[in-house]
Amino acid sequence: MTGTEQRPDGGRTDDAQAARGGSRPVPSDQDLAFFRTYGYLRLPGLLSAETVDRLREEVVGNLSRAYRMPDAPASEATGYDGFYLPLMGAASPVSRALTSDPVLLGLAERLLESPVVPKPPKGVRYRDTSPWHRDSGDPHLEAVKLVCYLEPLTGADGALRVLPGSHRPEFSAAADRYRKTVAAASPVDEEREARVWPGVVLDTVPGDVLVFDVHLWHASLFGRDRDQWSLSYAARPRTPEATAAVHAYIASFLGAGHTYDREEFPYYDPDWLSPGRPTFATAMSEIGLFDQLRTAD
């Protein structure tokens, strides 16, 4: 595990633990304070080199089976071009295991101060840029996203950029109004996106995990073909409004128009319907998520 001394530019510090199994808890008290204030964490080396290698095999191998991947790089920055796939099938044992990994679960539960339910892990090949956006504007949703890029990234080739503090409701709403004022062009003008938003670049190497509130404004500029593994968790809902928000958030992937074999690549682990399933799977059943996902699928 790792305790990290956060810097706004995402830089490393000497006391950052290099791999899982370190002596400090995840998240540390300082991590919690940083996340509450700025809406994100950068956890260097949280995943071991072996885990990253196996995740790379799952992401690249499954995407290659599910899609015909182009050889040539994207010719322009559309802001959306990419290939997306849930990693919950038999060919994704590491992703399935990490969903219920006590370190990642514990991280999400501490950040959200709640038991959680997962939005299943995905493998993504981003073909071009992602302009500034937030993953959710729903005030009833409490959720975090964990991402691991599978190659080194800097600001020059697609590293994640964040707007610190923009997860807070008033700031997030103000950024949404600003987005309407400086709408992203088509194709995306990446130089302008970098210039008119005061974002912080989070350089990463494989094994680093970035965690952010789903209301945080973020972007990825100047990058082309790059692979990402991600996993999200939502706080277990306690109100009808929160339940509806969690349903919409977790099912949103199924309505996004991705075309792949849904029998070969199921959206959730079939074992989650069996006896001995994780506690979060029981919670998913109790709030009607499995019924809703079957309908959406």
Work out the average pLDDT over 142-147.
99
**CB neighbour class for 179 (10 Å; exposed up to 12, middle 13-18, buried from 19):** middle
Q: Is the pLDDT of residue 22 over 50?
A: no
Model confidence at 19: pLDDT above 50: no
∠ CA 142-144-146 to the nearest 5 degrees? 170
Which residues contact residue 80 at a Cβ distance below 8 angstroms, ignoring those fewer than 6 apart?
Answer: 130
Q: Please give the helix or strand (H or E) that residue 233 lies within, else none.
A: strand 226-235
Looking at the DSSP assignment, which residues form a beta bridge with residue 145? 212, 232
Is 206:52 a contact under the CB 8 Å cutoff?
yes
Whether residue 10 is predicted with pLDDT greater than 60 in this model: the reply is: no
Give the amino acid at 93: P
- For residues 129-147, average pLDDT: 96
The pLDDT of residue 145 is: 99
Per-residue pLDDT, averaged over 105-123, amounts to: 97
What pLDDT, on the 0 to 100 scale, is given for residue 297? 67
Q: What residues contact residue 44 under an 8 Å CB cut-off, 6+ apart?
A: 2, 4, 12, 16, 17, 18, 205, 207, 208
pLDDT in tens, 259-272: 999 999 999 998 99
pLDDT at 12 over 80: no
Q: State yes or no: pLDDT of 82 exceeds 90.
A: no
Q: What is the mean pLDDT of the chain?
A: 89
Question: How far is it, in rounded angstroms, from Cα 111 to Cα 97?
Answer: 21
Tell me how far apart the alpha carbons of residues 297 and 294 are, in angstroms, rounded to a whole number. 5
In the block, which residue shows the tokens 């610190």?
Answer: 164
Averaged pLDDT for residues 220-244: 95
Predicted pLDDT at 128: 83
Superfamily of domain 29-293: q2cbj1_9rhob like domain (2.60.120.620)
Cβ-based burial of 165 (10 A; exposed 0-12, middle 13-18, buried ≥19): middle
Residue 11 clears pLDDT 60, i.e. is over it: no
Cα dihedral sign, 126-131-134-137: negative
* Mean pLDDT value across residues 169-176: 98
Q: Alpha carbon of 79 to those of 124, 130, 141, 164, 271: distances in Å? A: 14, 5, 25, 22, 36
Q: Which amino acid is residue 137, in one-letter code?
A: G
Q: What is the per-residue pLDDT for 25?
A: 62
Q: Which helix (H) or strand (E) holds 44?
A: none
Number of other residues whose CB lies within 10 A of the CB of residue 21: 10
User: Could you report the per-residue pLDDT of 173-230, keeping only the tens digit for each?
Assistant: 999 999 999 998 888 898 999 999 999 999 999 999 999 999 999 999 988 889 999 9
